[in-house]
């Protein structure tokens, strides 16, 4: 490995799954680099990790929607002499609303954050991992990438399906030299995601068995990437859903998706 302690870079580290990854990896003896847009939250988490685990924490405020954000982030790592052993591509959000009724600039930012930035980060950092013969890349995808897309979140499932396929190829290219890549696919997770998209009230109506905590997702994700799983769906319920949709004819699966989309839009309008 590159340092006496492995170093993990976590995007979207200010809350939810990203913060849970930071806590879990720090508890495993990792030093961490935290990056997101909200400096105050990153600094609060950094102080917690230093106190709890004696972790070396680097905070780099960064907005991955900016075209040169990844280059600037990697330059900041180089200036500090930091070599990344674990890359957690977690930053993400949703854009609700019909595709043509959302400004293109909003869609462009979304695709940079959820597709372009994690791909570029992997491209820039995997070279060092390969040279050192060790690395872990976790691309936080979603169960949504395994089921038909829904109306109203037009690009979300598409972006997650991309991350799944990208992770599979990345895993195959690097599995023989000690670098593991994994698309981590959670379902409904207790985090701020649904507050940001304005769907919290609707999500609160779902039964408890459909949900996982961020900590549960992270625990399963770390185990999956260490095993060398290229794709892993967290939670038994989510794996059943994935298996069901895999067996259904496309036409039936699309009808089910359309029904769910209609229900989703109706509840958002309430």
Helices (H), the chain: 16-27, 39-53, 69-79, 104-111, 117-132, 156-174, 193-196, 200-203, 214-227, 236-247, 250-269
Q: What three-state secondary structure class fits 13?
A: coil
Q: What is the DSSP letter of 95?
A: -
What are the CA-CA distances from residue 24 to residues 17, 49, 55, 131, 181 (Å)? 10, 10, 12, 26, 18
Query: CB neighbours of 18 closer than 8 A, spacing ≥ 6?
Result: 10, 11, 12, 36, 88, 90, 91
State the Cα–Cα distance between residues 30 and 87, nearest whole angstrom.
Answer: 12
CB 104 within 8 A of CB 148: no
Closest CA to 268 of 174, 189, 194, 186: 194
Query: CB neighbours of 259 closer than 8 A, spacing ≥ 6?
Result: none
Q: How far apart are the first and last CA of the chain?
A: 53
Active site residues: 156
């Amino acid at each position: 490995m590159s340092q006496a302690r492995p170093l993990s870079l976590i995007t979207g580290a200010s809350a939810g799954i990203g913060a849970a990854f930071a806590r879990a990896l720090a508890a495993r003896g990792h030093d961490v680099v935290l990056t997101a847009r909200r400096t105050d939250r990153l600094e609060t988490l950094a102080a917690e990790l230093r106190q709890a685990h004696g972790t070396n924490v680097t905070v780099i405020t960064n907005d991955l929607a900016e075209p040169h954000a990844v280059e600037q982030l990697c330059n900041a790592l180089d200036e500090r002499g930091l070599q990344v052993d674990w890359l957690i591509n977690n930053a993400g959000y949703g854009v609700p609303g019909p595709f043509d009724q959302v400004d293109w600039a909003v869609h462009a930012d979304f695709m940079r954050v959820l597709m372009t930035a994690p791909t570029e980060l992997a491209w820039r950092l995997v070279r060092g991992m390969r040279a050192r013969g060790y690395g872990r890349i976790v691309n936080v995808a979603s169960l949504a990438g395994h089921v038909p897309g829904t109306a109203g979140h037009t690009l979300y499932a598409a972006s997650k399906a991309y991350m799944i396929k990208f992770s599979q190829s990345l895993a195959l290219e690097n599995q023989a030299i000690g670098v593991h890549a994994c698309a981590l696919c959670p379902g409904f997770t207790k985090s701020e995601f649904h507050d940001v998209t304005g769907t919290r009230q609707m999500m609160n109506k779902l039964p408890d068995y459909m949900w996982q905590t961020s900590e549960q997702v992270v625990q399963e994700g770390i185990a999956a990437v260490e095993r060398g799983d290229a794709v892993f769906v967290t939670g038994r319920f989510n794996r059943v859903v994935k298996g069901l949709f895999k067996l259904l004819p496309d036409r039936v699966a699309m009808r089910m998706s359309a029904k769910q989309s209609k229900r989703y839009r109706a509840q958002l309008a309430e």
